Amino acid sequence: MRHPRPRPQARPWCSPRCAAVLALAGLVALASPGGAHAAAGTFVYHTQAGAVPHELADPVDGRCYPVGDAHGVVGNETDRGAYLYDTPDCRGPAAYVPTGFYAVGRFHSVNFVP
């Protein structure tokens, strides 16, 4: 009678030390600012005529920033173009304010593009 050959034990593909190294590499990757880029500079806007200006410092590219009912002078002192929207979720038609320019207008959200 033939005896079945014992099957080899399955080994984990990664040792505990390997798992620790991979976990550390994952944390470093998550903490690195490689995915999202930010504009350098400040975007200045007002929510009331003559009121103290509000500022968005170093805004992240592509992120929608709801700003309430902004109106009056807008200053794009960032190194990215700014799109101003009439909606709070950066949808629909937009007004463009190039880098280094000022404008006068009313808007409810803004996002920045390289």
**Contact at 8 Å (CB) between 104 and 73?**
yes
Is residue 82 scored above 50 in pLDDT? yes
CB-facing half-sphere around the CA of 69: CA atoms within 13 A: 3
The pLDDT of residue 51 is 77
% of the chain at pLDDT higher than 70: 67
DSSP-derived secondary structure for 15-48: -HHHHHHHHHHHHHHHHSTTS--B-SEEEEE-SS
Please report which helix (H) or strand (E) contains residue 78, including its range.
strand 65-78
Read off the pLDDT of residues 2-29 as tens digits, 9 standing for 90 and up.
666 666 555 554 456 544 544 544 444 4
pLDDT for residue 98 is more than 70: yes
Q: How long, in residues, is the chain?
A: 114
Mean pLDDT value across residues 79-84: 96
Q: Which is more confident, 34 or 80?
A: 80
Query: 106 with 49: CB under 8 angstroms?
Result: no
pLDDT band at 42 (very low <50, low <70, confident <90, very high): very high
Which has more confidence, 28 or 111? 111
Average pLDDT over every residue of 84-97: 96
What domains does the chain contain, in order, with CATH numbers?
41-113 (2.60.20.30)
Answering whether pTM is above 0.75, one says no
